[in-house]
Structure 1
Amino acid sequence: MFALSSGMPPAAIAVVRISGAQAGEALRALAGRLPSPRRATLADLKSLAGAPLDRALVLWFPGPATATGEDLAELHLHGGRAVVAAVETALATLPGLRRAEAGEFTRRAFLNGRIDLAEAEGLADLLAAETESQRVQALGLASGHVSRAVAGWQDRLLTLMAGAEAELNFADEDDVEVGDAVARRLIAGMGGLADELGGWLARPAAEVIAEGLSVVIAGPPNAGKSTLINALAQRELAIVSPVAGTTRDVIETPLALDGIAMRFSDTAGLRGDSVDTIEMIGIDRAKAAVEAADIILWLGPPHDVPDHPRAILIAAQADRWKGDAAAEAAAARCDLMLSAATGEGMDRLHRLIVEMARTLLPREGEAALRQRQRAALGEARDWLRIEAGSREAGDLILLAERLRLASGALDRITGRAGVEDMLDTLFGRFCIGK
C-alpha cells in the first residue's frame, strides 16, 4: 500500500510512504535500484513507461524493524501538487500496490506488534492535539507511559498467579509454600495492587484534557456575564443588553489559556421571578451547566454562590460601583474585582482560572487514562479487591480465578485480547497515509 504521509501540497517537501512485501520492488521500479538500508539517497524517479517524475530523496527500510513492522520505503518529493499526483499515479499502476485506507499504516504497526493499543490511541490524540496540555498528554500515551505501567502490573500479577498455581498443583512438594500463608500473601499482594490501580483511577480523565475543561460563567441577570465572555473570547460572541433575560440559552466557545483547552459558557441569568417560559428553560439549562462545570465564574452576590468545589467569586462591573461603600464592602468578600469593559482584573482572572485548572490536570510525569482504559482498569481493581473474612479469602481456586480475570482486564488496555470490536473505530480516526 502507499499514501501521501505528509501535509497536503503545495509544500516544500512531500513524503510518500510505501509499506508491505512489495515495497522494495515498487522502489526499484521507480528509482531503478534499491538504495542502502536506512540511508537517504538521491534518485531520479521514472514511471514504468520511462517518463521522468521527480528528482527525490529515497529511503529503504527492510522489515521487521520499521514503523509498520513490514518492508517500508519513503519517497521525499518536491511538494507540488502535480509532482505528488504524478508519483501516486505511477505507483497505482504497479502490480500488487494500492492506495492505503485511513489509519492503515498505524493499524499494521499494531497488528505486527510494533505498538500496542494504548500507544495507538495516544498517537491518534497526538495528531488531534491543539493545545500544549493535549500534546503533552498524548505524547505520554504514544511513548508508552501507560503501556509500561500495565506491563509492570502484569508482571506482579504473574508472580501472584504463579504462587497460586504452585500451591494448587504442587502442594505435596517440600519446597512449595502451603496453607493459609499462601492465601494471606496473595490477598496482601492483590490489595496492594488494587490500591495502586485506584490511585491511577483517581487521576483526571484524558477526555477532560482532549475536550477541554468546562468553565461556566454564572450569576443573576445583568451581572456582566455576556460582557465577560466577549472579553475572554475577544469578539462579540453574546448579545450585551441592559434588558434582563437577554441571554436565553447556554453560549459556548472553546479557548486555550496557557496551553490548557477550555470551554467557556455564558448562561442565562439565574432568578426565580421570571414568567417567561423560554427564559425559564434557559435558567434550567444554566443550572444544569453549573452542576456539570469543572470551574464556575460566579458574578453574583457571594452569599448566593452555588455549592461547588471550584468557584471563583468575581465582583464584576467594577467600573460602575467603585466609590460605593456598600458595594466595595461586598466586593471585599470576592476573589477579585473585575471590569470586563475596561480590562481591570482580567489578568488576575486569567491567572486564577489557570491555577485552578492545573489542579484538574495530571501532574508532571503522570498520564491520564481514556474512558475505555479507565473501565478496564476499574474492572481489574474490582477483581483484586477481597473482603476480609469472605469465603473467597480462603479459597485458592477462587483467588486464582480473580487474578486471571484481572489480568484479562489489563490485557484490554494494551490490546492483547478482546479488541477487535474497537479497531475500526480507532484507526478510522487517522488520516490517509498515517
Structure 2
Amino acid sequence: MGTISDIKSSAQLLKERVDNVSALGPEVKKNSGGVEAAGVQVQRVNASLDLVHTQILMLKTSVENANAHIQILTENWEDVNHLNAQIPGLKKDLDKASVLNTKVRGLQSSLENINKLLRQQEPPSKPAPALVPRRCLTVRTAIICLVLALAASILLQATLYPWFMGTISDIKSSAQLLKERVDNVSALGPEVKKNSGGVEAAGVQVQRVNASLDLVHTQILMLKTSVENANAHIQILTENWEDVNHLNAQIPGLKKDLDKASVLNTKVRGLQSSLENINKLLRQQDDILQMVSQGWRYFQGNFYYFSRIVKTWYSAQQFCLSRGAHLTSVTSEGEQEFLYKTAGGLVHWIGLTKAGTEGDWTWVDDTPFDKVQSKRFWIPGEPNNNGNNEHCANIRVSSLRSWNDAPCDNQFLFICKRPYISAEP
C-alpha cells in the first residue's frame, strides 16, 4: 500500500507540473507575440536607420564637395593674401622706378641740350696768338666734361634702364596676376554663397538626422528593454521546460509504476469487492440469523413465517401485515416445493384470493398472478368453488400440486412472506 501511495503522489506531482506548464502556455504565446512585435519594430527601426544612413551619405558627399570648394577658395585667398603682402614692396619699387625714370628723363634732357649746344657751335676762328692757349684749354675742359657727362648718361642708361624695364614688367605681370586672382575670387563669390547655403542646409539636415537618431535611439532602448523582459520570460519558460523534460524522462518509469499500481489497484479493488461481498454476506447472515431466531425461515432472498396457531384468512393477513409481511405468494416451482415441504402436510393459508364468484385470482402482495403456471400447483379438480364460497387458497397436501380453494372464514395455519432488505452498513 505504501508503494501505491508513492506512485499516486508521483503521478499527482507530475500532473501538477504539467498543469503549471500548460498554464504557462498563454504567457508563452503572449511573450512570443511581444517578441514578434519587437522584431517588427526592430525591422522598422533598421529600415529607418538605412534611410538615415543614405541621407547621411548624401550629406557627407555634399559636405565633401563644399569642403573641396572651400579648400580651393582658401588656396586662392592665400594667394591673394600673398599678393596683398607683396603690394607694399611693389609700390615702393614703383616709387623708386618713378624717381629713377624722372632722373633718366632729366639726364636725357640734359644730353639733348648738350648735343644741341654742340651742334650750334661754329668752327673757331683763328685766335690771336696770345689768346690761343687759353681758349684751347677751356674748350678741351668743356669737351671732357661733356664727354664724361655723356658717358655717365650712357652708362646709367645701359645699366639702370634694363633693370627699370624688368622691374616695371614684373610689376605689371604681378598686377595682372593679382587682377586675375581677384577676378577668380570674385567669380567664386556666388559659388561660395551657394556652397555656404548648401552647408547650412546640410547642417539643418544633420540636426534633423541627429533628432531622428535620438528618437531611434530611444526606441531602440525601449525595444532593448522589451527584449530583455522577453528574454527573462523565455529564461523562466526554459527552466520550466527543463523541469518538464526532467519529468518527461521520469514518465516511462512512472508509467511502469502506474501500470504496476493499476494491476495492484485492480487486485485491491477485487479484494475490496470480495471483502464487500463477504461483509454483505456476513450482514445478510446476521440478518438471517436474527430473523431465524424470531421464527422466520430464509429462502432465495425472502423470509417466511410458518405460524403455530390457526386463524381465518383475513386474520392471518392482518397478522402478517403487523410483521411487515403479507400472506405468501408463489412465483416459481422451487418456491412451491420449499413451501409444501416445510408445511409438512399441514394446511396453511397462502396469499391467493379472488373477489366474488366470477372474480380472478390475485396475490395479496400485488405480485402478478401467472394463470398458466398456477395450473401445475392446483390439486386436480381444484379450484372448484364448492358451495360458491371458496374464495381463498391454501396448501393442503405435501405435494407440488397442493393448492386448494376454501372458505376464507375457515381457520388454518398460515405462511407470511417478506423480502429480505439489507440493513445499511
Q: Do they fold alike, i.e. is TM over 0.5? A: no
TM-score by length of 2: 0.20
TM-score by length of 1: 0.20
